[in-house]
Amino acid sequence: MFISNAYANAAGAPQGGGTMELVMMLAIFGLIFYFMIYRPQAKRVKEQKSLMESMSKGDEVLTNGGIVGKIAKISTDNDYLVLTLNENNQVTIKKDYVVAILPKGSIQSL
């Protein structure tokens, strides 16, 4: 009686379809993917490649499995090297398994 009826206005909000929101979500996802996944992995690959190129005969290295040895021979035609563990034992491994080049004299201090 005292309250009048309220009717919806004929001119409503424009229908965008949500394409702009989808583009923004994809852009944000792409940035997150780049900075959280791709960039750190590319940095690790670059560091590993420079490590493999800097190895030379006589370097003391640490392998992925925790083996410490001195490089006795590096094969230039394939990706293998020979590690001397002590006077009697030598191990052939792939260059990819080397994690770090240790300072000279590290084996003697162990």
CA distances from 70 to 12, 24, 96 (A): 77, 53, 16
Lowest mean pLDDT among 17-21, 25-29, 83-87: 17-21
Which whole number is the average pLDDT over 1-16? Answer: 63
Q: Residue 14 above 70 pLDDT?
A: no
- Residue 67: predicted pLDDT: 93
- Residue 73: predicted pLDDT: 94
CA–CA distance, 110 with 86 (Å, rounded to integer): 12
Q: Residue 23 above 70 pLDDT?
A: yes
CA–CA distance, 61 with 5 (Å, rounded to integer): 85
Q: Residue 76 above 60 pLDDT?
A: yes
**SS3 assignment, position 99:** strand
**Cα 52 from chain centroid?**
16
pTM of the predicted model over 0.85: no
Which whole number is the average pLDDT over 68-81? Answer: 91
Which whole number is the average pLDDT over 52-79? Answer: 92
